[in-house]
Amino acid sequence: MPNTIGTEIANISQALGTGTLGGYVKNAEGETCFISCWHVMKDSTTLAGPVDPGSTAIVNINSGNAVMGNVIAGALTATYDLGIALCTIPGFQPSNTIPGEGFAVQTQYRALVPFDEAVSTPVKIAGKNSQVIDAAIFNWQTGATLPYPDGNSYTLSDLFSLTNPGGSVAGAQPPTDEGDSGALVIDAATGAPLGLIVGAQDNFSFAIKFSNVSGPGQPLNGFTFII
């Protein structure tokens, strides 16, 4: 299904490769936007600073590089890696569901709490090419130094980590794979958005928290998830 969350996207330059369409949101004006990682939407290997005005287009790799929208905001900071694009597809009706896969955003985001770690809260991830991944929260609050496609490593704090269902890590691979950057993570029981995948290392996948990007002065302040 074209433009489904989880579809493979990239900046038109593809300077940093491809990633995953994380979800659809509306801004304060009611316009449809979509989110992913900044390192997916950025137009060059220089992650600092804005996208060049001539390279704002985000394309759907699975639809012959058709333009989906244009970057309007984003950054890589100490606590998040987030890009936002304004959707420009005429007549498009966005949805935060993956039909037939049991994945649907049903409420606005919620903050993670220590209880999520204590009970290994089950989650679902809208991975690349709209493949739904079952996983579990391992750490509700952690940091990680992750390799990035520009060849550098960056340290992010106040992430949450994910492992395979049941919370087992011994000898396990991380739930996500290359290309899943930007994938939306939701609470499997409630459908509440929790964050976006930014990378993986050793036995874990790591995600930014929506609670770190949605407050006053933050990039998603005033945005709401489409339900």
Q: How confident is the model at residue 119 (pLDDT cuts 50, 70, 90)?
A: very high
Rounded Cα gap, residues 36 and 89, in angstroms: 17
| pLDDT one-digit tens code per residue, 122-152 | 999 999 887 999 999 999 999 999 999 999 9
Q: How confident is the model at residue 73 (pLDDT cuts 50, 70, 90)?
A: very high
pLDDT at 151: 94
Q: DSSP string covering the chain, please? A: -TT-TT-EEEETT-TT--EE--EEEE-TT--EEEEE-HHHH-SSS--SSPPPGGG-EEEEGGGTTEEEEEEEEEEE-SS-EEEEEEE--TT----SEETTTTEE--S------HHHHHTT-EEEEEEGGGEEEEEEEEEEEEEEEEE-TTS-EEEEEEEEEEESTTS--TTPPPS--TT-TT-EEEETTT--EEEEEEEEETTEEEEEEGGGTSSTTSTTTT-EE--
Q: DSSP string covering 170-198, please? A: TTPPPS--TT-TT-EEEETTT--EEEEEE
CB atoms within 10 A of CB 129: 14
| pLDDT one-digit tens code per residue, 30-68 | 999 999 999 999 999 999 989 999 999 999 999 999 999
- In the chain the domains, ranked by start, together with CATH numbers, are 8-97+215-225 (2.40.10), 98-210 (2.40.10.10)
The answer to whether 208 and 39 have CB atoms below 8 angstroms apart is no
pLDDT of 106 strictly over 80: yes
| pLDDT one-digit tens code per residue, 171-227 | 678 999 999 999 999 999 999 999 999 999 988 999 999 999 998 999 999 999 999
pLDDT of 1 strictly over 60: no
The answer to whether 196 and 185 have CB atoms below 8 angstroms apart is yes
pLDDT at 168: 64
pLDDT at 165: 86
pLDDT of 170 strictly over 70: no
pLDDT of 105 strictly over 90: yes
